Chain A
Amino acid sequence: MSDVALMQKHWPHAEGAATKASATTKLPATLEAPATTKAPATTGAHLLSTRDVTVRYDLTKCALQPTSLDFDKDQVTALIGPSGCGKSTFLRCLNLMNREIPRCCVDGQIYYHGHNINTKEENLFDLRASIGMVFQQPAPFRKSIRENIIFAPKRHGRISSRSAADELVETSLRQAALWDEVKDKLDHSAWALSGGQQQRLCIARALAMKPDVILFDEPCSALDPVSTFAIEETIRSIAEHGICVVIVTHNMEQATRVSDRTAFFYVGEMVECGMTKQIFGAPKDQRLADYLTGRFG
C-alpha cells in the first residue's frame, strides 16, 4: 500500500488500538518481543499505566486518541514524534497537569501504584509531590538557589531544621550534577545562572521532592549541546537510581542515547511503542519508518 493510502486508512476514525499494518522487515530473533499497544492483563505490574486515555480541548477538539502505555521504575521511556502530535499533552496527563487548562477533558484510566488517579476525588497535591515535572523552558523562581530547592519540600512539611535543609540541597544538587558549580553561591539568585544551569536547577528542584516518577517535557530544546549532554547524563543517572523517567523529545538521537523504551506519536495517536533498539532498528509502522528516515519532521 502507498504511504498516503496507509495514512488514510489509519487516520483518526480508527478507535482504540487497531492493529497496524505490518512493516516489510521481519524481526530479528535476537530482539525481545516488542510490547503491543493492547493493554496487558494486569496494570499492577507497572508503576504507572494508562488505559485508553484521551484528551479533548474545548470538549470537542480531540488532541489525543485513546492511548495505553506502561511505565516502570528504573526505566527511561521516550515519547517521540513530530510537532503537535500529542506527546506533551499525554505527558501532562500523567501528573494531571491538564486539569490546570480550562475546558480540557481527560478521559480514561491512569493507574499509579495500581490506583486510578484520573478521578475527581484525587488529591492533586499529594500526587504531584511524588510525580515531578521538568518543563521546556527553565523556570527557576525568583529566589536564591537554596530557596528554589527547598521551596516545595518546606511547604509539604518535610523540612524540620536548617541542617536537614542543607542536606537536601546538597543531595539534590549533586544528583543533578550542579553541586560543584554552585556550592559557593547557594544564596545567590537563581536567575543569575546560565540556561543549562537553570535547567539542572529545575531538575534538582524536582529531585528534592524525592519523587518516584519524573516527567521531562523537551528539557533540552532550549539549550546548547554542552548543557544538553550534561542533562542527558543526569537523566540516565536518575533512572539508575530507581526513578521512572518519561521524556518527551523532538530529537530522535536524544531518544536513542537516553531511553530504554520509546513510543512514537503521530497526530494525536500513539502509533507504536517498544524497546528503543527495536523502534529505531526495525520499525513496524510505515509512519514511524517515514519519520525516522526523515520523510517528514
Chain B
Amino acid sequence: MTDTSAAAASTSAKPSVAILDVDLDEHARRIRKQDRIATIFLTVIVGFVLALLAALVIYILAQGLPEVLTPGFLTNSPLDRDNPGISYELFDSFYMLFVTLVISVPISLGAAIFLVEYAPENWVTSAASTAIETLSSLPSIVVGMFGSLFFVVYCGWGVSILSGAMALTMFNIPILVRVIQQALQDVPRVQRDASLAMGLTRWETTRSVLLPAAMPAIVTGIVISAGRVFGEAAALLFTSGAAPARLNFGSLDITSLRNPWNIFRQAETLAVHIYKLRMEPTPGNDAIAWGTAAVLIICVLLFNVGARMLGKHLAKKMTSE
C-alpha cells in the first residue's frame, strides 16, 4: 500500500489520493495489538476472580478450622460455661432446613406444574408470575419483618421453628419454582405430545412422564436451594429467635419447649449464631464465630458439590438403565 501512496504522491496530487493514503498494515498491527492487550487484560481479571475465591475460602477455613477441630466444639452445647460449642445450633440449622423443605417443596412443585402445564394465557397467570417475581426480589429482612408480625403474632405461633420455616419458605419458593419450571420445560416437547396423543390427561402426563424425566434437574435445584436456605439469617432473626432453646435430647414430650423436635420452640441457626456472637462483645466469641463460619461454609459447599454430583448420577442412571 505504501507503494501506491508513494506513487500517487509522486504524481500531481489529486484530492482522491488522500483517501488512499492510509497505511493498512499499520491499522492491522494496531488492531492486533488491541486484541492482544484485551486478552491479557481479561486473563488478569479472571485470575483475580479465581484468586479472590480461593482467598475467601482459605481465609475462612484458616480462621475457623482450628476452632472447629478443638474437641467439644461440635458436640458441646452453647450454654456450656467452660467450653461452649455449637451442637444446638447445628441441630437447629438442619431441622429448620428439613421443615422448610417439607413445606416449600410440595407448594413449589404444585405452583411450577400449574405455570407450565395448566396456566391459561390470561391475567391470572401473569399475576401469579409477578407475585413470585416480587417475592424473589424482596430483601430478606422485609420477609423477616413480615414473618415477625404475621406468623409470630397473627398466626399465634410465637417465635418458633415453624415461624422461621415459613419465612424461609417464602424466601425459597421463588428459587424452587424457577428451577422446577426450567426443568419441566427442558423435557423434549415430543414426550409430552406423545402422552397427550394417547388420551392421557395433563396430570397423568406430568406425573408419569415429565416429572421422572426432569427429576435430576429438580433434585439438583432442591439441594442448591437448601444451601441458600441454610445460610440465611436476616429472615430468621425475628421469627425463630436469636437464642437457643435449652434442648433436652432425651425428652419424650413433643409439646415440651425443650424437646428438640417441637416446632413451636424457639431456635438459633448457625448463621444467626454468628450474628449474635458479633453483637455481644464477650471475649472468646470471635473464635466461636469463626468456627461457626467455617462449619457453615463447609456445609454450604458440601450442599453445592453434592447437588451437582447427585444430579449427574441421577441423569446417568436415567439414560443407561
Contact = CB atoms under 8 A, between A and B. Distances in A.
Determine direct contact between A and B, CB below 8 Å: yes
Interface in A196-224: 202, 205-206, 209
Interface residues on A, range: 20 to 34
A139 B200 contact: no
A139 B188 contact: yes
A230 interface: no
Interface stretch (B43-51, B98-106, B208-216, B220-228): B208-216
Contacts of B127: none
A5 to B, nearest CB: 41
A205 B198 contact: yes
A132 interface: yes
Contacts of A151: 195, 198, 208
B212 A142 contact: yes
A152 B200 contact: yes
A141 B195 contact: yes
A220 to B, nearest CB: 15
A189 interface: yes
A127 B199 contact: yes
Interface residues of B, number: 22
Contacts of A296: none
B319 A132 contact: no
A100 B193 contact: yes
A128 B190 contact: no
Contacts of A136: 190
Contacts of B198: 128-129, 132, 151-152, 205-206, 209
Interface of B: 121, 188, 190-191, 193-201, 204, 208-209, 212-213, 318-321
12 contacts: A97-B196, A97-B197, A102-B121, A103-B121, A126-B199, A128-B198, A132-B197, A133-B193, A135-B193, A137-B188, A141-B195, A188-B321
Kindly list the 8 A-B residue pairs having the minimum CB-CB distance in the complex, ordered from nearest. A128-B199, A129-B199, A152-B198, A133-B197, A139-B190, A139-B194, A125-B199, A189-B321
Given A129-B199, A151-B198, A155-B200, 9 more contacts: A100-B193, A124-B199, A125-B200, A126-B199, A128-B196, A135-B190, A139-B191, A152-B199, A188-B321
